[in-house]
Structure 1
Amino acid sequence: MGYDKNENEELIKWGWPEDVWFHVDKLSSAHVYLRLNPGQTINDIPKEVLEDAAQLCKANSITGNKTNNIDVVYTMWSNLKKTPSMDVGQVGFHRDKEVYKIHVEKRINEIVNRLNKTKEDKKLNFREERENRDRLERNEEKKRMKEEQRKQREEIEKRRKEAELRSYDSLFVEQSMQTTNKDNTGYDSDDFM
């Protein structure tokens, strides 16, 4: 969660592709991020987790915290659009169809208190975190590609050996033909007629 609009700006800039962004709709609030596990999609988020993120957004909105019946919007980080004309911390969306809403009727203190108990204040270098993540992803991709190339080489070699076994070429190697008809019968083939 962004501490202020400047930290929100850093989160917008250095978010991860697997981050889901939450914000109170049409009001000022904290930017809350939920990091999905590999292979998860926005549709895999449990209802309870959506409720937690929405309550966190509401609790960290000056106006939204005091207002009942608000909406919290959420979308994948990659759908956030930032233009130079926007204020610090302000965002738009590339595709409105990929923005979801969750309605929050009122603040549920039990949820907010539970989340605040687990809160950790850390000063992170978002750029460094993102670059480390990207480096690990590139290394994994390189490993995957090398493994794929190794398997392809093995398959090519396997096919080559199978083709060699089916071929008659190996039967007609001069070293295999060390005897002649004359050697086997005592007659030269020219003498046959």
Structure 2
Amino acid sequence: MVYYFKARPEVGDFTIYMGLDKHENEDLIKYGFPEDIWFHVDKLSSAHVYLRLHKGQTMDNISAELLEDCAQLVKANSIQGNKINNLDIVYTPWSNLKKSSSMDVGQVGFHNPKLVRTVKVEKRVNEIVNRLNKTKVERTPDLKAEREVYNSQERAERKNQMRDKKRREELERVQKEREADVRSYKALMVSEKMTSNKDIAGKGKSLQEIEDDFM
């Protein structure tokens, strides 16, 4: 089971989600999207909460209001953390999560600690938590299938981008060849290199004589 929430409308159309338990969290860790940002109470047990950003966005695009929604949801879903004030919430891109065979179920590490950020929650704000809970939807998704669909769409998009790139490169090549031909033609047509009928006559030969010589 996965729980899905909607962030406050004024920050944009963003989905926040979390697993039912540590076993569900294993699949969330395994089949996350590159646009996902992972949240957790620092040094305490809590739900694994994810924010799904839009394509092209990074942690730097998370507004203070959106960050507050995510942090409050994490705090509210931590047995210990929900009782503590001035609580630290850590967050990092899904791609920075590291999972090894020696780790317990639901446990994760980080590939790069420098990509882990911290936000402090002074206290639980019931208004925020209640608003988020009113948007909660329970689903049992096939996370593996969703990721496979995502991967397929990414491959198709990269293929289209590569095709468009080759088309642009071919058009640029043709345009450069045309421009080179024009420059070459203009060079041949400069007045110093051209011979008029008057020039030919001035050399003592008539046009008929020139034609006879050519034949």
- Structure-2 residue corresponding to 1:178: none
1:29-82: CA deviations, max 9, x gaps?
110000111222102211111111111111111111222222111001111111
Offset of 1:20 from its aligned partner? Answer: 0.4
TM-score by length of 2: 0.77
Pick the structure with more strand per residue: 2
State the Cα deviation string for residues 75-134 of structure 1 (Å, max 9, x = none).
011111111100000001111111111111221111110000001101111111111112
Task: Give the Cα separation in 1 of the matches to 2:67 and 2:22.
Answer: 23
CA distance in 1, matches of 2:88, 2:211: 100
Which runs of 5 or more residues in structure 1 are unaligned?
172-180
Pairing 1:158–2:175 present:
yes
Q: Distance in 2 between matches of 1:185 and 1:12?
A: 89
Matched with 2:151 is: 134
Which residue of structure 2 lines up, in the alignment, with residue 3 of structure 1? Answer: 20
Matched, 1:14 2:31: yes
Structure 1 residue 189 displacement after superposition: 7.5
Q: CA–CA distance in 1 between the matches of 2:119 and 2:21?
A: 23
- 1:2-33 per-residue CA deviation (whole Å, 9 max, x = no partner) reads 11101111011111111100001111111000
Tell me how large the CA RMSD over aligned residues is.
Answer: 2.6
In the TM superposition, what are the counterparts of 1:12-51 in structure 2 within 5 Å? 12-51=29-68
* Aligned equivalent of 1:107: 124
Structure 2, gaps ≥5 residues long: 1-17, 189-199, 201-205
- How many equivalent residue pairs? 183
TM-score for the superposition, normalised by structure 1: 0.86
1:148 aligns with 2:170: no
